[in-house]
Chain A
Amino acid sequence: MNQRGTPLLTVRGMSRSFVGIRVLTEVDLDLAPGEVHAVVGENGAGKSTLMKVIAGVHQPDSGRLEIDGVPHRFPDPASARRAGIGIIHQELTLLPDRTVAENVFLGREPVGRGPRRLLVDRAAMVERTRALLAEVGAVSFDPGTLVRRLSVAQQQVVEIVKALAGDARILVMDEPTAPLAEHEVDLLYDLVRRLTARGIAILYISHRMREIFDLSDRVTVLKDGRVTGTLATRDTDRDELVRLMVGRELRDYHPPLAAPGDLGEVRLAVRGAGNDRLRDITVEVRAGEVVGVAGLQGSGRTSFARALFGADPLTTGEMWLDGRPVRPNSPRAAIRAGIALVTEDRKGQGLVLRQPVLDNALLVLRAAFAGRRRAEVEPVEVGELLTRLDVRAGASDREVRFLSGGNQQKVVLAKWLAARPRLLVLDEPTRGVDVGAKAAIHEFVRDLARQGLSVVMVSSELPELIGMSDRVLVFRDGTISGELPARPSEERIMRLSTGAEVAV
């Protein structure tokens, strides 16, 4: 086709402000048919806003947008879609109580002819959905299935099919892998390649460097709402991208591990423990140690975190904290025993989005330690904690929902650290967090460990696990399939996760 001839999409001089704050400044971007064009940048760099302007969710203050050289203006998402632009939002935007077909054709349900024009043509809707699913190679579920019954990865496929159903030629994907487990990412790669082979152009936003190098043809870097470079992916590398993103080089992504002398007594000991999702868990974590937890989705890694925290309590086996037997059967009991859990679902389970930063940071303290107990815990100055974490909120009375992902995660950390836990359990601590905040969170967690905190860190991001963990536990089928020393190879972890290798 006209590979580098007329671009499919051209954006020139696009600017957009929100309440006086410039979010996008004079952004230029173009997109060729069949191209995967990555857009990277720190959180708050304006990526999502750019995508939303392109997809008609927001309207630009100035600048122009052309499709096949024809200028377009999108007052709403529907008109962008009619022009062939589909968007996969960062959060899944499906209705769980409706069927796959009803979701795919939401807002453009096919209708019959003549007098049947009033009716939704359900047969056509189901048939076309079936065809689209087959086209993208998704045959594991039916158009009539309720979306709530699908896995997250399957829901992602429905999202993509929903975009394609509008005959999208340009697909905007905003962090499509964020909700996916490592092995599901491959399915997405495969899908992206199928789409580009059909000449569909993809604008791909991601924080994950590996995806950018695996998938994209070109990369555009945004910093503070401006384009700092558009590069051919094969001519660049990680360091250059990070430099363009943050304006400085992040040589070492991860702080140094614990030296053997840094580790203290055994803090957490679990022996032969289990519940309906876990069995035969035996673990020891020392003071000052960061223990990584790896495993595929459904392997029990999140169940393990939740069990330690008493959210889905252990029903068998034994557990000790600092030599004393404990068996938290509710989060409240766990918190009082000195255990904290940063959940993987920041917005749903970590924060009260409509409350200000300070109230969120004080939540655990206020909730679990009333009156005398609270005095005993000697609350650290929460304000000071927020400063140490470098939460950039503008003001501490700002509602948390307005913060970037990285800053939100820092507030979640502050909330837990205010209670001075002895064991900090992290589940996907840097999901959806930009490079700068990620490094800050890693540094901070290591710093806490140095001060004697024990950390259990669940992550589906292998580089993070390998870079941060003094030891890695690999979960499979609800139990620990192997334990690896510091700096294991990705291959070892994957082999243990998938059962390709069985520990002795």
Chain B
Amino acid sequence: MTAPSVTPTGRSGAFVRLRPRGPVGVVYLALVGVYLVGWLAVAARGGDFVTVGNTVTILQNSVALGLVAVGQTYVILAGSLDLSVAYLVSLTSLVTAQTMQTAGVVPGVLAALAVAAVVGLANGLVVTRLGVNAFIATLGMALILRGYLEHNYTGPAGAVPTSFQHLGYDRLGPVPVSVFLLAATVAVTWFVLRRTRLGHHIYAVGGDEEVARLSGVPTTRTRVTAHVLCALCAGLAGVFLASRLGAGAPWAGTEAQYDLVSIAAVVLGGTLLAGGRGGVAGTVGGVLILATLDTVFDQLAVDPFFKNVVRGVVIVVAVALYARRGVDVRRRGMRGGS
């Protein structure tokens, strides 16, 4: 999503120009790298990695995390973050399934999104109006939701009609329907971030809240809106998982640790954790990297503990590489040093 940046000085030589511009290029290079390594690893064991079926699996595995991570992108860009998304996914999956059981598909989806919006609004207001650090504010929300879920549910509840399970399992040609849901969410997000005032303001608030305020940006409204959008995306993930599972589940969002993993995906996508730089295209790359890794591990039947070790290493190494690039850019630009 980062447009190729203009080089004002003519200092970049041919070598430099070969390097991808902006972090997004690096993210997709990393994705290709992970894919190739996975291919080789699977091929070495005599498996077949590059198949339509396998690619579809990677996409299918990306949907739920993708939705949550796209939402997380809004808040991280705005200089905030949301640790309550995992429990919110669980909660909305239950709301979806239970409402659909009694009232039908459309009310189910609307109810889930409404609950999500309220939670996001609460997060946003606590962060902005009460001045609570986003980490603490959303951690608090996570605990509140967890308490509610653990008190009221011990296992799956509600049921979605078979017609609604099409979302989770149907395909258009080879492509799962749910991938279109993710694609649409990504497209809308890209559009909001790149082309609307709200998007410009999100980058500004995350880049430097005081600068944004002094420039006349409605900083409070912008941050609250980012939190609501984030929660809505988590709500969509809940709706999708309800369709996939056929019911709501109190572990729908927490089992896969969507809270921390979504943050990791965003950062893996080259977005600055401190906010103000990055975008949704990178996040998609980050999600695909994680999904590709998972698929490789599944095919190799790797020990789940080892799986986490590799994921951890990939995330840390990738971010360390971006940090180096960030340092380079900063040295060249801001502090020329006299």
Question: Known contacts being A95-B204, A97-B276, A97-B277, is A107 close to B215, with CB within 8 Å?
Answer: yes
Contact B333 A107 (CB under 8 A): no
- Give chain A interface residues in 292-309, CB to chain B under 8 Å: 295-303, 306
Contacts of A57 in B (CB 8 A): 214
Question: Known contacts being A97-B207, A148-B330, A150-B8, is A109 close to B200, with CB within 8 Å?
Answer: yes
B118-162, CB under 8 A of A: which get 1 and which 0? 000000000000000000000000000000000000000000000
Q: Which of B199, B208, B216 contacts A95 (CB 8 A)?
A: B208
**B18 lies within 8 A of chain A by Cβ:** no
CA separation between A144 and B8, bound complex, in Å? 9
Contacts of B211 in A (CB 8 A): 93-95, 106
**B52 lies within 8 A of chain A by Cβ:** no
A111's closest neighbor in chain B, by CB?
B197
**A255 lies within 8 A of chain B by Cβ:** no
- Give chain A interface residues in 80-108, CB to chain B under 8 Å: 81, 87, 89, 93-98, 102, 106-108
Contacts of A77 in B (CB 8 A): 213-216
B207's closest neighbor in chain A, by CB?
A95
B1-28, CB under 8 A of A: which get 1 and which 0? 0010111110000000000000000000
Contacts of B70 in A (CB 8 A): none
CA separation between A142 and B200, bound complex, in Å? 19
Contact A96 B207 (CB under 8 A): yes
CB distance from A471 to the nearest CB of B (A): 20
CA separation between A96 and B329, bound complex, in Å? 11
**A2 lies within 8 A of chain B by Cβ:** no
A149's closest neighbor in chain B, by CB?
B333
A312's closest neighbor in chain B, by CB?
B337
Contacts of A96 in B (CB 8 A): 207, 333-334
Contact B210 A149 (CB under 8 A): no
Q: By CB atoms of chain B within 10 A, which of A97, A298, A306 has the most?
A: A97
Contacts of A111 in B (CB 8 A): 197
Contacts of A181 in B (CB 8 A): 338
- Give chain A interface residues in 139-174, CB to chain B under 8 Å: 140-142, 144-146, 148-151, 162
**B212 lies within 8 A of chain A by Cβ:** yes
Contacts of B324 in A (CB 8 A): none
A57's closest neighbor in chain B, by CB?
B214
Contact A119 B195 (CB under 8 A): yes
* Contact count A vs B, C-beta below 8 Å: 104
B190-232, CB under 8 A of A: which get 1 and which 0? 0000011101110110011011111111000000000000000
What bracket does the count of chain A residues touching chain B fall in?
A: 35 or more
* Chief secondary structure at chain A's binding surface: loop
CA separation between A451 and B195, bound complex, in Å? 63
Contacts of B201 in A (CB 8 A): 107
Contacts of A145 in B (CB 8 A): 5-6, 8
CA separation between A353 and B16, bound complex, in Å? 38
Question: Known contacts being A93-B210, A95-B211, is A141 close to B196, with CB within 8 Å?
Answer: no
Contact B333 A106 (CB under 8 A): no
Contact B215 A97 (CB under 8 A): no
Contact B204 A303 (CB under 8 A): no
What bracket does the count of chain B residues touching chain A fall in?
A: 35 or more
Contact A76 B338 (CB under 8 A): no
Contact A148 B276 (CB under 8 A): no
Contacts of B338 in A (CB 8 A): 181, 295-303
B191's closest neighbor in chain A, by CB?
A119
CB distance from B332 to the nearest CB of A (A): 7
CA separation between A303 and B336, bound complex, in Å? 10
Contact B6 A142 (CB under 8 A): yes
CB distance from B128 to the nearest CB of A (A): 15
B208's closest neighbor in chain A, by CB?
A95
Contact B196 A306 (CB under 8 A): no
Contacts of A146 in B (CB 8 A): 5-6, 333
CB distance from B21 to the nearest CB of A (A): 11
CB distance from A433 to the nearest CB of B (A): 19
Contacts of A298 in B (CB 8 A): 336, 338
Contact A306 B337 (CB under 8 A): yes
CA separation between A385 and B332, bound complex, in Å? 39
Contacts of A122 in B (CB 8 A): 195
B332's closest neighbor in chain A, by CB?
A149
Contacts of A301 in B (CB 8 A): 338
CA separation between A77 and B3, bound complex, in Å? 31
Contact A149 B212 (CB under 8 A): no
**A191 lies within 8 A of chain B by Cβ:** no
Contact B203 A97 (CB under 8 A): yes
Contacts of A377 in B (CB 8 A): none
Contacts of A197 in B (CB 8 A): none
CA separation between A142 and B10, bound complex, in Å? 13
Contacts of B6 in A (CB 8 A): 142, 144-146
A329-365, CB under 8 A of B: which get 1 and which 0? 0000000000000000000000000000000000000
CA separation between A258 and B177, bound complex, in Å? 83
CA separation between A106 and B214, bound complex, in Å? 10
**A277 lies within 8 A of chain B by Cβ:** yes
CB distance from A83 to the nearest CB of B (A): 12
CB distance from A306 to the nearest CB of B (A): 7
B275's closest neighbor in chain A, by CB?
A97
**A120 lies within 8 A of chain B by Cβ:** yes
Q: Can you offer 20 A-B residue contacts whose CB atoms are under 8 A?
A: A93-B210, A93-B214, A95-B212, A95-B276, A96-B334, A97-B272, A97-B277, A106-B200, A106-B204, A106-B212, A107-B212, A107-B217, A120-B197, A141-B8, A142-B6, A144-B6, A146-B6, A149-B7, A149-B9, A303-B338
7 closest Cβ contacts across the A-B interface? A78-B216, A107-B216, A148-B333, A107-B215, A95-B207, A97-B277, A302-B338
Besides A89-B214, A93-B208, 20 more A-B contacts (Cβ < 8 Å) are: A93-B215, A97-B207, A97-B277, A98-B204, A107-B215, A107-B217, A109-B197, A109-B200, A120-B200, A144-B3, A144-B5, A145-B8, A149-B8, A151-B336, A300-B338, A301-B338, A302-B337, A303-B338, A306-B337, A312-B337
Chain A residues in the interface with B (C-beta under 8 A): 57, 76-78, 81, 87, 89, 93-98, 102, 106-109, 111, 118-120, 122, 140-142, 144-146, 148-151, 162, 181, 277, 295-303, 306, 312
